[in-house]
Chain A
């Protein structure tokens, strides 16, 4: 039990090497030594929050991007409020791709965040700062948001645990909307237990979000038994489906073998493993980009320069809108607004938006069928390990393709847990690879149970980045 944690000690763990670009998040000036222990379990008192989650104690520059650089939100997001009410200390806000649009955090309105495993690589995105801050042990847990994989892919790249809950499990109130029907707030931690505790704290119905579920939240923490008390085959009989399409061509061979290793480990734990095919899997990516862009083109309409944010000086109204938005948004955001506007336009709606919705229904059904026959599905969290900074920046299609493993889960609204399961070549000691475990809707409990057992029984791996000198394993 920690009764006092010194935030500055946490924050200094991520050294600023070479370029000054690598700090993953802004430090809150109000971060003080923590004395409360009321928040759930012992290690979870310090967290960071991704920029797009509103926190009223953050001023001016600390908010999302250049368009909003003088905007200070007047309220806390429900998830943040729940954590604060439980005694959590928010130490800072983490970097992200502007409005969550990106897979590398390079589309940030601030600086580029480096991957703690290899400072020349990206931490993933869009919640790259959150993943990097946990990976570098600058905080115990962190919040992010996951629209198409923005929690799971950076968790994989940074070697931490990332949990995307079922759509509706966590209130979106206070999350700056990217694509409302896909957005969920997700959790990062350095262990499944920490991540599960964090999710439990923020879950549950919120009267301020009409899409939040009224389902009861089970106590995920009851699943965390210590490794020593586990039976020899603790997951006996658990039906696991490996999604065939996710270990096909186009997936890095190192990633494939890491996932096969993880599958073998699950079998050793007693799982019944079989391959399942989801023929609609490859349709997820185009459907996702059409739906997410369409919704974002609408959600970002409110940033018009009239009430807050940057207002361009202009002679007439249309020019005011055009210039405020042209200057305020980054290029990735503008591209997606344009794509979304096009997809929703009269004459194109049926061909794009409507068809994408039909594809979404097909995907939802195929996942439902697969999960009727299996308790969980597994896949890689990303087709490769972390990219080099700049590697995909000028090739958006290659970057989008990297989201293939995760977007289907958002389209189906399902929960998924990503946890480190192995390494591929790269960096000083190799780059972490994440295993994605997908569960049935609102069955996060099973995910954290399986994830926890997997994590406790996986031997021979150390998922603490080499540059962290003062932390060994799980003890902080």
Chain B
């Protein structure tokens, strides 16, 4: 959670310039050299000869070229649902379990086994459909998508074809300010339910671009590679976007917003590393002003939002370069793989015509019929979604920077909201959460749910400072204790005797004491070295153990220094 909270998408402008790329890869090489000699060798071999091109010339060319083209980007997202059991059987699914431990005759596709739909899948699909502003199909059905692959035990995937559970819809998002900010609305074509396939386990350094079909022996393949069916039958929602995105950052932010939505809804952990959120991106480019689409290329193996961003920007410049060199015929319909190490896309497989999946209605499952009452009851139970939250925060007067920070993580937003409902000042609460608390979480690698300070106590802390009970300085000091150990603000103030001293007489006494103990400095002050006021203030503050009200202290101190003693 902490990692998401502080997720920022880093732009990599050097990506477009092979020399910069090379220098970055040197860094990578440096790291890997210690652990693996062979990997270094391979990487060196893969380095493009192009690096000798003068970088300035190339930079200018690529910049100019990409300006002449417009990219069209669409995304297919698979979200793994966090139901307790799989879509069609009662097996649990836990990421990271030993291979083939969460399986049964049904998800193994044994003869005679039949699927029975887990009703949670429908509920989650309806939730997402509503959250994405879709039109729900009150009458939908499942279909079989048929193809052969060792990770697909039945020889078909139970999916939805011509009548998905939700269609239309859109995603609202605000681009981060470091990317220029701005509101965007991207269409979603459809949401449908389906089951996941198993996984081929590649032992050794599995080369994902190598298709099984090219292996010399299936037996040698299966001796090194096995099929893990733990994931087979796990429910997925596939969300297909409209081709509305134009840049890598827009696509990455679209995916990030989907992640927020599924987390807000509690239907998936949305974790990209675990494969709970998987994005396949389609990219094509066309000269600015042209209406028909160019040839689209699909990119897979995108394991983070920043890789979505970088892979797309790489692909756009690759296609633009080919276009500008009159080699647009070399842009072919294919699936390309994003290589994180090399920061580039490579051909995985060329598409040979359209695949025919021979879809037909799944006869083992009844139609999916939703009643309007059911949809309404789910609609009424939806939480406040990210977009609504952002707009609400914006209306409260928070800056977009603050809005994005607070609304990006559901738990942070919840914490913030609770702090406010305990009566805290909006701006002060935001500042505390985004400042000291966030820094603490980052250092300690904790999520907001792990810290011991409750939102109620944060509100109390803010109120105590605002009312003058404690000074801001003391507030910061006790914050770290509250974060680490918990407890109440009042308790800590009492226990440590931290209440601010605002009694002029008491402060005056302390000032008198400091002045009388430092006659030399007093003389220097009175002979014109007025800078020494700071020294006296510091000494008094020290004497008060930081509790003296700073305004009062300075006022009385000045009177005493300048007056008769």
Using CB atoms and an 8 Å cutoff, list the residues of chain A in contact with chain B.
Answer: 53-54, 64, 68, 71, 73-75, 77, 172-177, 179-181, 207-211, 294-295, 297-298, 300-304, 306-308, 313-318, 320-321, 341, 344-346, 349, 353
Contacts and interface: CB of A to CB of B under 8 A. Distances in A.
Contact of A68 (B111, B146, B365, B366): B111
Contact of A316 (B153, B156, B218, B356): B218
A321 B154 CA distance: 13
A209 B117 CA distance: 10
Most buried by B among A71, A73, A210: A210
B213 A298 contact: no
A77 B111 CA distance: 10
Given A316-B213, A318-B213, A298 B360 contact: yes
B115 A210 contact: yes
B322 to A, nearest CB: 31
A306 B364 contact: no
A210 B110 CA distance: 17
Nearest to A344: B358
A210 B358 contact: no
21 contacts: A54-B111, A75-B105, A176-B111, A177-B114, A180-B363, A181-B363, A208-B114, A211-B114, A301-B146, A301-B148, A301-B155, A302-B155, A304-B155, A306-B150, A306-B153, A306-B227, A313-B219, A317-B218, A345-B356, A349-B358, A353-B360
B505 interface: no
A54 B113 CA distance: 10
B360 A349 contact: yes
Given A294-B360, A318-B213, A346-B354, A174 B112 contact: yes
Contact of A320 (B105, B218, B363): B218
B518 to A, nearest CB: 87
Contacts of A175: 112
B230 to A, nearest CB: 14
Interface string B114-134: 111100000000000000000
Contacts of A180: 363-364
10 closest Cβ contacts across the A-B interface?
A301-B155, A180-B363, A181-B363, A344-B358, A174-B112, A176-B111, A54-B112, A302-B109, A346-B356, A210-B116
Nearest to A173: B114
Contacts of A73: 110-112
B396 to A, nearest CB: 49
A73 B111 CA distance: 8
Given A210-B116, A315-B216, A318-B213, A302 B111 contact: yes
B interface, over-half SS:
loop
B258 to A, nearest CB: 30
Contacts of A298: 144, 146, 155-156, 358, 360
Given A176-B111, A298-B146, A298-B156, 16 more contacts: A71-B111, A75-B112, A173-B114, A174-B112, A208-B114, A210-B117, A210-B364, A301-B148, A302-B110, A302-B154, A308-B110, A314-B218, A317-B218, A318-B148, A341-B358, A349-B360
B97 interface: no
Interface in B211-227: 212-219, 221, 227
B159 to A, nearest CB: 13
Nearest to B214: A316
A208 B354 contact: no
A349 B63 CA distance: 48
A307 B111 contact: no
A85 B113 CA distance: 20
A176 B219 CA distance: 28
A301 B154 contact: yes
A317 B151 CA distance: 12
Q: How large is the interface on B (under 10, 10 to 19, 20 to 34, 35 or more residues)?
A: 35 or more
B21 interface: no
A54 B105 CA distance: 12
Nearest to B88: A210
B400 interface: no
B359 to A, nearest CB: 8
Contacts of A306: 150, 153, 227
A268 to B, nearest CB: 42
B175 interface: no
B20 interface: no
B364 A211 contact: yes
B114 A301 contact: no
Contacts of B478: none
Nearest to B106: A208
B222 to A, nearest CB: 9
B398 interface: no
B108 interface: yes
Nearest to B218: A320
Contacts of A314: 218
B112 A176 contact: yes
Given A68-B111, A315-B216, A210 B155 contact: no
A63 to B, nearest CB: 9
B427 to A, nearest CB: 55
Contacts of B360: 294-295, 298, 344, 349, 353
A349 B113 CA distance: 27
B105 A74 contact: yes
A56 to B, nearest CB: 11
Nearest to A313: B219
B153 A307 contact: yes
Interface string B15-46: 00000000000000000000000000000000
Contact of A209 (B116, B144, B148, B156): B116
Contacts of B216: 315
A321 B112 contact: no
Most buried by A among B213, B356, B360, B366: B360
A278 B213 CA distance: 52
Contacts of A345: 356, 358
Nearest to A53: B112
Nearest to A209: B114
Interface string B225-256: 00100000000000000000000000000000
A96 to B, nearest CB: 14
Contacts of B217: 315
A276 B364 CA distance: 33
B108 A173 contact: no
Contacts of A320: 218
Most buried by A among B155, B358, B364: B358
A175 B148 CA distance: 23
A231 B230 CA distance: 63
B364 A173 contact: no
Nearest to A353: B360
Contacts of B154: 301-302
Contacts of A295: 360, 363
Contacts of A68: 111
A345 B212 CA distance: 25
B483 to A, nearest CB: 50
Contacts of B218: 313-317, 320
A337 B63 CA distance: 55
Nearest to A64: B111
A69 to B, nearest CB: 13
Contacts of B365: 210-211
A318 B363 CA distance: 27
A179 B358 CA distance: 16
A344 B190 CA distance: 24
Contacts of B213: 316-318
Nearest to A212: B114
Most buried by A among B112, B146, B215, B366: B112
A66 to B, nearest CB: 14
Nearest to A179: B363
A177 B154 CA distance: 12
Interface string B361-391: 0011110000000000000000000000000
A177 B112 contact: yes
A341 to B, nearest CB: 7
A248 B221 CA distance: 60
